[in-house]
Structure formats: structure tokens, C-alpha cells
């Protein structure tokens, strides 16, 4: 995984944020940001839940789960 959890969180969040044109509607930017944050977290939850049911003790599975949970935490802090 080339991006840090923080970089991946920002990338996912921004991809949702660009769906909305907030330039003309500054009064609803907070609402749009909350929607984007929730959407990004839902996307990460889907990734976490789609991991194969391998034992968490395998290094690859454990590292993947740690990475995506870190991404989710970083989304929350945006």
C-alpha cells in the first residue's frame, strides 16, 4: 500500500467532496462535508467487510485490517 492511512483517507474523502459543487453554496458546506465524511467511512467499511475470512493472524490480513481501520480513523479526523 503506497499511501499512508492519512493520505488514503484524504483521497477517499476528496473524491466524495468533488461530487458536490460547493463554490456557489457556501451555506451548506458543513452539511456536504459531513455527508462526504460519512460516505467515505461507509466505503472503507465495505472494504474492511469484503476482506476474505482468513484468520486475522496471517500477516497480510492483519496488515490490511490495520491499514483500513487507520484510514477510517483518519477520515474521522478530517
pLDDT above 90: residue 73: yes
pTM for the model: 0.71
- What grid cell was written down for 23? 463554490
- What grid cell was written down for 53? 475470512
Asked if 75 and 40 count as a contact pair (C-beta separation under 8 A), the reply is yes
List pLDDT tens digits, range 10-60.
998 888 888 776 565 666 778 888 888 999 999 999 898 887 665 666 788
Q: Which residue has the cell 462535508?
A: 33
Residue 67's pLDDT band (cuts 50, 70, 90) = very high
Domain span at 43: 5-76
Asked if 8 and 74 count as a contact pair (C-beta separation under 8 A), the reply is yes
Q: Domain count of the chain?
A: 1
Helices marked H in 1-78: 5-17, 29-50, 59-76
- Structure confidence at residue 22 (pLDDT): 59
Amino acid at each position: 500500500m503506497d499511501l499512508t492511512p492519512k493520505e488514503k483517507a484524504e483521497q477517499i474523502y476528496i473524491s466524495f467532496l468533488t461530487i458536490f459543487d460547493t463554490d456557489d453554496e457556501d451555506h451548506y458546506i458543513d452539511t456536504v462535508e459531513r455527508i462526504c465524511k460519512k460516505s467515505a467511512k461507509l466505503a472503507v467499511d465495505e472494504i474492511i467487510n469484503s476482506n476474505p475470512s482468513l484468520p486475522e493472524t496471517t500477516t497480510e490480513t492483519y496488515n490490511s485490517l490495520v491499514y483500513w481501520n487507520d484510514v477510517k480513523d483518519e477520515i474521522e479526523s478530517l
